[in-house]
Amino acid sequence: MALLIDGYNILFAIAEQRGQELAAAIEEARARLLKHLTRYSQATHDPITVIFDQSAHAGGATHPEFLPGIRVLYSHPPRTADDDIRRLVETSYSRQHLRVVTSDQALGRDCTKLGARVVGAKAFFRELTQLAEESRDDEHETWVKQQPPSAGEIKEWLEVFKDAPRIGGGLGRVERLKPKKTTR
């Protein structure tokens, strides 16, 4: 399901959840959000569009950014991110497959009337955090499985299997087959 995310709306939800002053760390929070969304997109394969209000963006970016699975857009005043999200929902051919992330009640009502699903920024942040934790656990488990056995583990296994019977004459033994003589 494609996601349309009200960028600063979710950043404020994150800051509120963590008890931070958002203005002091807006760029750091924005970068962290995009990193989490990249993981989310890779895990779910859902295309994501994040729209930030241009007037609120300190960096002044005006061109879209493209990250793996994510398109980052900036509204152009006098339009707002809410206006752009409404327009994207209105022009979508498959509104029922859109999920809009916002805590703005008016935008949420409008998108729901148009046929999109709406989820609040705090609820989506909890989902994003849970997925990030699961992803981290999966990455750690994969790393552990890829590590060669330690010297201690090798010694332990050799001790466990030292008296085990050898099947087939031992490991690594290859017997050559001699061609049979044929008589004419």
Instruction: Report the pLDDT value the prediction gives residue 124, as an integer from 0 to 100.
Output: 92
Distance separating alpha carbons of residues 88 and 96, to the nearest angstrom: 13
CATH of domain 2-139: 3.40.50
| pLDDT attached to residue 177 | 52
d(CA 35, CA 69): 11
Find the length of the chain.
184
Q: What is the pTM of this model?
A: 0.67
Residue 89: predicted pLDDT:
96
Give residue 110's pLDDT.
Answer: 96
67 SS3 class: strand
pLDDT score, position 98: 95
**Order of strands across the sheet with 70-74?**
65-67, 70-74, 48-52, 2-6, 98-101, 117-119
| Burial (0-12, 13-18, 19+ Cβ within 10 Å), 109 | exposed
Helix (H/G/I), strand (E/B), else coil: 128: helix
Distance between CA atoms of residues 84 and 25, nearest Å: 25
pLDDT in the model for residue 139: 64
**Which residue ranges of the chain lie beneath pLDDT 70?**
14-25, 55-64, 135-142, 144, 165-184
What is the percent of the chain with per-residue pLDDT over 90, rounded to a whole number?
Answer: 32
Contact 28, 34 (CB under 8 A): no
